[in-house]
Amino acid sequence: MSAIIEAVDLAYRYPDGTEALRGLTFSIQAGETVAIVGANGAGKSTLLHHLNGTVTPARGTLAIDGLPLTGAHLVEIRRRVGMVFQDPDDQLFMPTVAEDVGFGPRNLGLPPDEVEARVQGALALVEALALGPKPPYRLSAGEKRRVAIATALAMEPAILVMDEPTSGLDPRSRRQLCRLLKAFEFTKIIATHDLDLVLDLCPRTLVIHGGLIMADGPTLEIFRDEDLLATCHLEKPLSMQGCPVCGG
């Protein structure tokens, strides 16, 4: 089976000289749910920005669904990769939720009836049909997160990429989001500091530290490796730390 994401020696340096990625090689198969974890500054966000062509490699190659990440393929790659940003307000800017969700399909030049079908379908998937007429600024944090996901789903992507999807959510909204994400069967890439979310949703984890992949494997095995976590400035998920009172 060919990989839906294939990176070989992927490297990137920012204009100020910061070396954010230093030769990442990995592949992800269609339908996988993969976490990308690491401390602040490890390179997670830079990697995400490569996945939809916001930035392009300084060295190495990246292919999305068989398409090399080059200028000739950027439009098609951005159709296939749905990006959900850490702050939903970066994605929601139209007068109503429905207009936000329909923004991408309209810009593809789709006819109005197909745009409407995609809007309704995407909002239904995130259980937010009733939010369609509302202005985004009137939504709760959890509602904004679901609508931001709907804006990506309306493009009918092959891959959903999420940056800190549980950031700012209360416990109930976090549980709702986890249940929602579990129901999606397509490829999901989740970059997050919420390691309990990773343990719950992602069978596989990539650990990035200093722009390098330090580990790539089954999530539970990685979270049991205390030396690896210490080296990468990570801690075990709270659910694996035991009781701070009784030590159990």
Q: What is the pLDDT of residues 160-203, one digit of tens each?
A: 999 999 988 888 889 888 998 998 888 999 999 999 999 999 99
Residue 72's Cβ-side half-sphere holds a number of Cα atoms within 13 Å equal to: 3
Task: Map residue 210 onto helix, strand or coil.
Answer: coil
Per-residue pLDDT, 12: 96
Which residues form the domain of 72? 5-240
Residue with tokens 């109503």: 96
Per-residue pLDDT, 81: 94
Task: Look up the pTM and report it.
Answer: 0.90
Q: What's the average model confidence in pLDDT over 105-121?
A: 94
For residue 236, pLDDT beyond 60: yes
Residue 191 phi, psi dihedral angles, 5° rounding: -100, 125
For residue 1, pLDDT beyond 60: no
CATH number at residue 23: 3.40.50.300
Residue 4 tokens read as: 């839906």
Question: Residue 90, exposed/middle/buried by CB under 10 A (0-12, 13-18, 19+)?
Answer: exposed
Tens digit of pLDDT for each residue in 45-94? Answer: 999 999 988 898 999 999 999 999 988 899 899 889 999 988 888 889 99
In a domain, 212, yes or no: yes
d(CA 84, CA 152): 7
In a domain, 161, yes or no: yes
Per-residue pLDDT, 95: 95
State the pLDDT confidence band at 248, using cuts at 50, 70 and 90.
Answer: low
Please name the residue ranges forming H helices in the chain: 44-51, 74-80, 97-107, 112-125, 141-153, 171-183, 195-201, 219-223, 226-231
For residue 149, pLDDT beyond 70: yes
Whether the CB-CB separation of 222 and 230 falls below 8 Å is answered with no
Percent of the chain surpassing pLDDT 70: 97
Per-residue pLDDT, 90: 86
For CA atoms 85, 86, 89, 92, the dihedral sign is: positive
What's the number of domains the chain is made of?
1
In a domain, 67, yes or no: yes
In a domain, 150, yes or no: yes
Whether the CB-CB separation of 62 and 12 falls below 8 Å is answered with no
Whether the CB-CB separation of 60 and 8 falls below 8 Å is answered with yes
In a domain, 246, yes or no: no
In a domain, 188, yes or no: yes
Q: What's the average model confidence in pLDDT over 7-23?
A: 94
Whether the CB-CB separation of 37 and 22 falls below 8 Å is answered with no
